[in-house]
């Protein structure tokens, strides 16, 4: 009887240990995926654009960083962006959103993508959207983004900037990058 109890206890301990090991592996994968998304892996991002702005997007009247001025990028939407000196190409008053979407041609869901402006959303009217709203976008910042259904994660009324900068990692010039918010910039010292 003692041997039978020990066998059952051994199986229970083995099962618990296996459960903990598998749980730790799963958490490691989740942490790695979260870190990748928080680091905003934009390997599919079209970093440069034509400079065209969406219809209805209005130029900011008194931006902190006027067109032609310089600023330092404080956020890393992609590797090589943080601490780069930017030249302001455009400044616009709008509502900017972080979004989650699945690429139109399939693939992994992109979570908390920064940024899409209100004017890049299809048939939404003028009023800012609330988190949780689902709409379509005609933004093409990332591969297979245009035409995707997106979920609004956050919304913020602010000035957004289109910027030119040189990547700090490889010296590649980026032209007309969309979008950087005012709080993601700091003055050149």
Shared domain check, 62 and 146 = yes
Percent of the chain with pLDDT over 90: 66
Shared domain check, 106 and 15 = no
Host domain of residue 9? 1-38
- pLDDT score recorded for residue 44: 45
Shared domain check, 108 and 21 = no
| Distance, CA of 67 to CA of 53 (rounded, Å) | 14
Query: For residues 160-187, b (16+ Cβ closer than 10 Å) or e, as one string?
Result: bbbbbbeebeeeeebebbbbbbbebbee
Return the minimum-mean-pLDDT range out of 37-51, 76-90, 103-117, 139-153: 37-51
Domain count, the chain: 2
Considering the domain boundaries, does residue 19 fall inside one?
yes
- DSSP assignment of 85-115: EEEEEEEEEEEEEEEEE--TT--SPEEEEEE
pLDDT band at 9; cut points 50, 70, 90: low
Structure confidence by residue, pLDDT tens digits, 22-68:
444 444 343 333 334 343 444 445 465 667 899 999 999 999 999 99
pLDDT band at 20; cut points 50, 70, 90: very low
Considering the domain boundaries, does residue 49 fall inside one?
no
Q: CB–CB of 94/118 below 8 Å?
A: yes
Shared domain check, 74 and 26 = no
Shared domain check, 92 and 171 = yes
Considering the domain boundaries, does residue 53 fall inside one?
no
Mean pLDDT of 92-110: 95
């Amino acid at each position: 009887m003692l041997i039978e109890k020990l066998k059952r206890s051994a199986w229970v301990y083995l099962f618990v240990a296996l459960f903990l090991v598998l749980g730790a592996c799963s958490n490691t994968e989740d942490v790695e995926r979260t870190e990748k998304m928080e680091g905003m892996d934009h390997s599919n991002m079209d970093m440069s654009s034509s400079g065209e702005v969406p219809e209805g997007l209005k130029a900011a009247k008194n931006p902190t960083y006027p067109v032609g001025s310089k600023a330092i990028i404080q956020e890393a939407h992609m590797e090589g962006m943080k601490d780069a000196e930017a030249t302001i190409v455009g400044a616009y008053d709008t509502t900017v959103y972080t979004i989650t979407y699945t690429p139109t041609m399939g693939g992994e869901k992109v979570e908390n993508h920064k940024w899409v402006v209100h004017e890049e959303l299809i048939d939404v009217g003028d009023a800012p959207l609330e988190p949780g709203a689902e709409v379509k976008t005609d933004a093409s910042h990332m591969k297979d983004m245009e035409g995707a259904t997106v979920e609004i994660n956050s919304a913020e009324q602010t000035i957004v900037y289109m910027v030119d900068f040189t990547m700090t990692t490889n010296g590649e010039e980026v032209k007309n990058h969309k979008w950087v918010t005012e709080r993601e910039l700091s003055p050149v010292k």
